């Protein structure tokens, strides 16, 4: 499957964040009930389970995702993947790379189903600045024939896979393969055989894709 062939409109998924607030009040003047020691209403120290679009996300980096607004889990799930990424401050360099290639953001947004391994900003910062600028300029000039396009396509799988379905070998839209190991509990890695990246936050839902934020850029170069 080629990125440029993915032009169908994606279905828009929605998620509703259910808020549950438990209020406990105890009057000072009420008589004590003999033999009772009711602490069931004291929930101040009880952990709250994740809800809404955050419910199935995992990884040590998920705490860095905004808790509200368009870049939050509940914001990203409403938008197709390129738009969702553009609202997330962890992925601004990736978005710069994608938008440097004419039409690529629209292609990603229009795809019916994708899995995207999205390097966060610090991953791109490991690339020498001159080299990164050269890739971006090449993307502007050569579009889908550029090295940048091949690198970005190397991070995309043409199916929408959650953590329980992504493990194993996966064909990328660059025509090569990634290997994903681990799980949500023990941690997950993705490798192209040369670079191995850790999943910082996985199972992030968007309207047409599942995003895994990773800590390395995989170039696909052996």
Quote the CA–CA distance of 62 and 65 in Å, as a whole number: 5
Per the domain annotation, does 20 fall within a domain?
A: no
Structure tokens at 201: 């936050």
Per the domain annotation, does 36 fall within a domain?
A: no
> How much of the chain exceeds pLDDT 90, in percent?
75
| pLDDT one-digit tens code per residue, 6-17 | 433 333 333 333
Per the domain annotation, does 38 fall within a domain?
A: no
Read off the CATH number of the domain in which 181 is found.
2.30.180.10
Quote the CA–CA distance of 184 and 73 in Å, as a whole number: 17
Q: Which of 116, 114, 154, 117 is CA-nearest to residue 135?
A: 154
Place 21 in a pLDDT band, splitting at 50, 70 and 90: very low
Residue 222's pLDDT is 61
Residue 69's pLDDT is 94
Whole-model pTM over 0.95: no
Number of domains the chain is built from = 1
Per the domain annotation, does 15 fall within a domain?
A: no
Q: Which domain holds residue 116?
A: 56-214
User: What DSSP state is assigned to residue 112?
Assistant: S
Structure tokens at 179: 């290997």
Q: Using an 8 Å Cβ cutoff, are 204 and 214 in contact?
A: no
Quote the CA–CA distance of 87 and 69 in Å, as a whole number: 9
Per the domain annotation, does 111 fall within a domain?
A: yes
Per the domain annotation, does 208 fall within a domain?
A: yes
Per the domain annotation, does 132 fall within a domain?
A: yes
Residue 6's pLDDT is 40
Residues contacting residue 51 through CB under 8 Å, at least 6 positions apart: 17, 18, 19
pLDDT at 104 exceeding the cut of 60: yes
Cβ atoms within 10 Å of 33's Cβ, excluding its own: 8
Residue 220's pLDDT is 73
| pLDDT one-digit tens code per residue, 47-97 | 334 678 999 999 999 999 999 999 999 999 999 999 999 999 999 999 999
Per the domain annotation, does 79 fall within a domain?
A: yes
């Amino acid at each position: 499957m080629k990125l440029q062939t993915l032009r169908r409109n994606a279905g828009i998924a929605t998620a509703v964040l259910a808020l549950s607030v438990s209020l406990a009040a105890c009057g000072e003047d009420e008589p004590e009930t003999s033999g009772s020691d009711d602490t069931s209403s004291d929930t101040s120290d009880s952990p709250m389970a994740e809800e809404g679009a955050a419910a199935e996300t995992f990884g040590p980096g998920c705490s860095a995702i905004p808790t509200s607004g368009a870049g939050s889990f509940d914001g990203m799930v409403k938008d197709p993947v390129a738009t969702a990424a553009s609202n997330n401050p962890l992925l601004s360099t990736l978005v710069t790379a994608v938008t440097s290639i004419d039409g690529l953001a629209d292609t990603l947004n229009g795809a019916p189903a994708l899995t995207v391994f999205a390097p966060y900003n610090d991953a791109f910062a490991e690339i020498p600045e001159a080299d990164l600028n050269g890739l971006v300029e090449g993307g502007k000039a050569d579009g889908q024939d550029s090295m940048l396009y091949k690198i970005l396509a190397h991070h995309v799988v043409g199916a929408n896979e959650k953590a329980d379905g992504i493990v194993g070998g996966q064909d990328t839209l660059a025509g090569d393969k990634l290997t994903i190991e681990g799980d949500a509990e023990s941690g997950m890695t993705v490798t192209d055989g040369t670079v191995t990246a850790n999943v910082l936050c996985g199972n992030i839902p968007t309207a047409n894709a599942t995003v895994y934020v990773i800590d390395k850029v995989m170039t696909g170069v052996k």
